[in-house]
């Protein structure tokens, strides 16, 4: 499997649909890195064009991968070691192309259904066929239209038995990774 994820802090939209840049948060780094490590994600790209945000993210990651945090909690260091920082999505895509020797298929996630949906079943098949994937998650109110326009497909929105669909990006990323990379045989008694 060749699955990478990117958490996009710019360009995303705010609640009234304007394009903004959002702030990096500590728990987005930790939770998505831990879920990524669990499900075998190769790289977890944290995308922000703001130099100070990149420095903050690098300090947090360094604390756990090289500093005191990792010496106390090596599992956390192991999780955060999949984080790679970059200024733009184009940069992440370029580097992922170098990593895999081929441009990955870029799939967005969105709380609203899009025309170019790819089902979870289809994407599981692509992963099984070793097609490299880059899964995009948007912070704030989600990925901006310019990002949605450049992707190869969009996963269906996560829905439960209610019309409420305001999951945190941490929850959404965890659920998407479980749906795409989870082992259904582990749902039962035997492993």
Q: What percent of the chain is helix, strand and coil (3-state, nearest 5)?
A: 45, 20, 40
Q: Does 158 bind a second copy (CB under 8 A)?
A: yes
CA 142 to CA 38: how far, in whole Å?
24
Backbone angles phi, psi at 176, to 5 degrees: -60, -45
Only segment of 47-55, 92-100, 146-154, 168-176 that touches a second copy (CB under 8 A): 168-176
The least CB distance from residue 71 to a second copy, in Å, is 13
Comparing C-alpha atoms, which of 117, 142, 149, 107 is closest to residue 2? 107
**Residue placing its CB nearer to a second copy in the complex, 55 or 171:** 171
- Footprint of a second copy on residues 33-52 (CB under 8 A)? 34-35, 37-40
Q: Any contact of residue 27 with a second copy (CB under 8 A)?
A: yes
Give yes or no for residue 69 binding a second copy (CB under 8 A): no
Q: Report DSSP state, residue 5.
A: E
- Contacts (Cβ under 8 Å, ≥6 apart) of 45: 4, 5, 6, 7, 83, 84, 85, 86, 92, 96, 134
* Nearer Cβ to a second copy (40/62): 40
Residue of 94, 78, 110 lying closest to 45 (CA atoms):
94
- Number of amino acids touching a second copy (CB under 8 A): 49
Asked if 1 interacts with a second copy (CB under 8 A), we say: yes
Return residues touching a second copy (CB under 8 A).
1, 15, 27, 30-31, 34-35, 37-40, 73, 75-76, 78-79, 113, 117, 119-121, 156-162, 164-168, 170-172, 174-175, 177-179, 181-183, 186-189, 191
């Amino acid at each position: 499997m060749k699955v990478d994820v990117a958490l996009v802090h710019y360009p995303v939209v705010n609640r009234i649909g304007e394009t903004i840049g959002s702030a990096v948060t500590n728990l987005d780094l930790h939770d998505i890195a831990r879920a990524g490590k669990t499900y075998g994600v190769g790289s977890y790209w944290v995308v922000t064009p703001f130099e100070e945000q990149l420095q903050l993210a690098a300090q947090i990651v360094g604390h756990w991968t090289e500093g005191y945090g990792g010496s106390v909690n090596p599992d956390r260091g192991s999780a955060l070691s999949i984080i790679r920082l970059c200024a733009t999505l184009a940069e992440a895509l370029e580097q992922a192309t170098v990593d895999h020797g081929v441009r990955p298929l870029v799939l967005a996630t969105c709380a609203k259904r899009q025309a170019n949906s790819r089902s979870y079943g289809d994407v599981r098949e692509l992963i099984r066929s070793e097609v490299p994937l880059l899964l995009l998650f948007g912070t704030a109110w989600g990925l901006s239209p310019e990002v949605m326009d450049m992707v190869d497909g969009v996963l269906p929105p996560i829905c439960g038995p209610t019309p409420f669909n305001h999951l945190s990006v941490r929850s959404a990323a965890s659920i998407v990774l479980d749906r795409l990379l989870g082992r259904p045989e582990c749902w039962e008694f035997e492993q």
